[in-house]
Amino acid sequence: MEDMINDGAKTILIVDDEQPIVDILVYNLRKEGYNTIEASDGVTAVNLALEKRPDLILLDIMLPKMDGLSVCKRIKNSYNVPIIMLTAKDGEIDKILGLELGADDYITKPFSVRELVARVKANLRKVEVVSNNQYNPNTENKKKESKIVVGDLELDLDKFEVKVRGEIIDLTLREFEVLKFLASQPEQVVTRETLLEKVWGYEYYGDIRTVDVTVRRIREKIEKDTSAPKILITKRGVGYYIASK
């Protein structure tokens, strides 16, 4: 279905083998002004993504020919595009966000169309903000603010690079954004809800487990001992903060 192309609009690749779901998503996303392309299996999804370079991908986990997690990994290895995973099982959430796949978000079926559209908008908005920060040379304070150093942690905001004790750590964009938000206000406890709103870009729609799983992944990369973290600390019952020493 490549009719009704809206020039200049963002294009969303919908990958799902359940045609009724695809039809609902196509209808509602086009109503919001997006272009859509569709794939019903994993192999087609990878080929379409690399050929058409959509601005965002909605990707089901359970797919014929190649599962959604493998599709996500293949696409992310080629180019950085926001991917929202669609899953029928709550139990898959840790797997989606916990593996080194680069998935940006997830939503469980059955989902409300309103929620899904909010997630789409939030993820596209985040990409725009990052792009503007990365490529806009007209920021007076950029040099001053291009690095954040807190204890053993160093973030280079121009390169989207993180070092711990001088060693470069490979983080996904979402993990970098979480760490940046916390590191910009060391020793200040930030609630999960605030992180969800400020980093993911939506409020009551979100699931705070997204934050917990992402924090856990960051810790696995930056901490020597995840059972006794020294950099990214949990304030039980409240939220997270970056230790300044």
Which tens digits make up the pLDDT trace of 163-181?
A: 999 899 888 778 888 999 9
Average of pLDDT values for 19-39?
A: 94
> Can you give the chain as a three-state secondary structure string?
CCCCCCCCCCEEEEECCCHHHHHHHHHHHHHCCCEEEEECCHHHHHHHHHHHCCCEEEEECCCCCCCHHHHHHHHHHHCCCCEEEEECCHHHHHHHHHCCCCCCEEEECCCCHHHHHHHHHHHHHHHHHHHHHHHCCCCCCHHHHCEEEECCEEEECCCCEEEECCEEECCCHHHHHHHHHHHCCCCCCEEHHHHHHHHHCCCCCCCHHHHHHHHHHHHHHHCCCCCCCCCEEEECCCEEEECCC
> Which range among 52-56, 87-91, 211-215 shows the weakest confidence by mean pLDDT?
87-91
pLDDT at 2: 45
> By mean pLDDT, which of 4-13, 19-28, 193-202, 203-212 is the weakest?
203-212
Lowest mean pLDDT among 12-21, 128-137, 224-233: 128-137
Q: Pick 188 or 127 by higher pLDDT.
A: 188
- 153, 105, 100: which is closest to 127 by C-alpha? 105
Alpha-carbon 50 to chain mean position: 19
**Mean model confidence pLDDT for the chain:** 83
pTM, 2 dp: 0.67
pLDDT for the residue numbered 8: 77
What are the chain's domains?
Answer: 11-134 (3.40.50.2300), 137-242 (1.10.10.10)
CB 17 within 8 A of CB 63: yes
| Separation CA 188–CA 233 (nearest Å) | 10
Side chain identity, residue 173: L
Q: Which residue has the higher pLDDT, 242 or 103?
A: 242
Q: Is the pLDDT of residue 137 over 60?
A: no
Q: Which of 81-90, 96-105, 153-162 has the lowest mean pLDDT?
A: 96-105
- The residue that leads in pLDDT, 94 or 121, is 121
> Tokens 């870009």 belong to which residue?
201
Strands 161-164 and 153-156: antiparallel
Across residues 1-14, what is the average pLDDT?
73
Q: How confident is the model at residue 160 (pLDDT cuts 50, 70, 90)?
A: confident
Residue 226 has pLDDT above 70, yes or no: yes
Mean predicted confidence (pLDDT) in 43-59: 95
